Amino acid sequence: MVRFDAYQAADAARRGNRNAEIADMIRQQERIRFHVQTEVTDNVASSARRDFLAFVKNLIPDDKYKLFCSLFRYPVASNEICGVIFDRLSRIFDGKNAAFNYEFSDGADAADWDIYRRDVLREPSVWSNDAWERFRTDIDCLVVVDMPDAPVNGRPEPYFYFVSPERLINYDTGLRGEVLWVAFRDGKRNIVIDGGTYRVYDEDWVLVSERGHALGYCPCAWFWNVPLSLERPWLKWSPVSRQLSALDWWLFFHISKQQLDLFGAYPIYSGYEPECDFDDGAGHHCSHGYLVDATDHYVYDANGIVRCPVCSSKRITGAGSFVEVPVPMEGQPDLRNPIQKLDADVDALKFNVDEEDRLRRHIIDASVGSDDSILSISAVNDKQIDAEFESKSVILRRVKCGFEWIQTFVDSTICRLRYGSTFMGASINYGTDFFTLSGTELRERYRSAKAAGASESELDAIQRQIVESDYRSDPRMRARMRMLAELEPYRHLTIAEAQALFRDGLIDERELRLKIDFTNYMSRFERENTDIVAFGAQSDYKTKIDTIRKTLLNYADERRKEFAVD
């Protein structure tokens, strides 16, 4: 633990011994924001834009570079790729078995904390919204737990906020990477926080206020605790950190393809250069369709270069380009048509489309940890699917562990400041079972598994995943779908498949009748009773299911004579 007096804190903050590291953080974040943060004008991403365009300028000729700059527009096209990456990673907040446990020796403090974290700290949404945005665009930021100068209603009211590297002045860390003390700017104020005191200075480093705390450690931590490398631990790992060069290349390729699209969309014509002897009497004459002066410099007006009023109208009409070819000299053979058209290379256009798509998939796969397209391959086997499923889970676990760590630090620090010794500890787990596959992907897996002859229990497991994925935000509908799955006979068979088994004497006639008209029987049951989730609320689950099933079979018996089961 580091504790300064007021003079030592100001002196340590002004040493500037971490300036190079802070500059590294800022550079990484500018590159990340360029591809991740959506901007409609050249604002936050301006320095990264200059670096990117300098990279492009070294690759292509000047005339192509000018066109490239014209086609470069905000929002940057790579924002879409990064949006897909972070949308998939945000599934960490949908863990099915998440657990948030806080231990207090005083029950009143435990009850107060439940209200305080929900109403004041805005948990859990603050982590899936504000903190997630920091994860996307501000990965090297710091989290500070602070509190007002005076208690409210007899209790301290701690809160937390984020400090971007652009605001950092200086800091120091321990052997495990923990923050020992930090100094940062807050408008015209300078803030220094150490293991025992919060201090506020003016812009000239004159002490304005100080307030002690009894934590025994600095109430600040790096938002992300996973370094990009051991050699430079101040730079934190982002899902896109190792793909920044690939994103630059994809963006270059994407805009270059747009240039090629212009070439492919507009034809190029060539023909003999026309003979034109126009002279306006003021020293201006025609040169290849444009007016030049006596020194052969182009003549300009408010609309740009002045075209020749005689021959310019005889050139190409509509979109496209026209290239003039010198007329053969006397004695030279004339082996070309007067006018020719150069068509686009279709193979080259197709290659660029395919290559752009391949680069996009590579970046997403490398960041998220899987190739979703494997699920659409008919020959895929369960081991391949499980490998892809696991690769997604590895990345998700890394991300969720980082969020668990920082939320545990913040919540524990706030509880110690607010409740003191009655707070005993916190355990936060975002869960281990995430919705790594969408409902569509799971249904494809279900069809593949059924076609491959998977067992009933395997199909049940996939069906439960489909329900959990489709209705993860609707617990009542989720419970209803689970009950319907238990009530429907032979739920993994189509009606035709069930009828075929009945003809072979392998299934019961009553249950076949129930399956054939299952939806109508369920509607009748709920009209005559109530919604199946609310039905039998005082009974145990087995009794409820048995009662509903018996009623449905009675309905089927009532209509036995109306069914002609072959």
The number of residues making up the chain comes to 566
The C-alpha atoms of residue 449 and residue 375 are separated, in whole angstroms, by 11
What is the tens place of the pLDDT at every residue in 36-80? Answer: 999 887 765 578 888 999 999 999 988 889 889 999 999 999 999
Please confirm whether the linkage preceding 219 is cis (ω < 30° from 0): no
Helix, strand and coil in the chain, % to nearest 5: 50, 15, 35
Return the amino acid letter for 186. D
Q: Give every residue of the chain whose pLDDT is below 50, as ranges.
A: 372-389, 563, 565-566
Residues 155/148, Cβ–Cβ less than 8 Å: no
- Is the pTM higher than 0.75? The answer reads no
What is the tens place of the pLDDT at every residue in 475-513? Answer: 889 889 999 998 999 888 889 988 888 888 888 888 888
- At 296 the pLDDT is 86
Q: What is the DSSP letter of 165?
A: G
Beta strand ranges found along 38-94 (DSSP E): none
Q: Determine the 3-state secondary structure of 177 from DSSP.
A: coil
Exposed (0-12), middle (13-18) or buried (19+): which is 331, by Cβ within 10 Å? exposed
CA torsion 331→332→335→340, rounded to 10°?
-120
Q: Determine the 3-state secondary structure of 173 from DSSP.
A: strand
- At 436 the pLDDT is 59
The number of beta carbons lying within 10 Å of the beta carbon of residue 175 is: 5
DSSP string, 394-433: HHHHHHHHHHHHHHHHHHHHHHHHHHGGGEEEEEEE--S-
Query: Which residues face 183 on adjacent strands?
Result: 170, 192
Residue 398 phi/psi, 5-degree rounding, is -65, -45
Q: Determine the 3-state secondary structure of 212 from DSSP.
A: strand
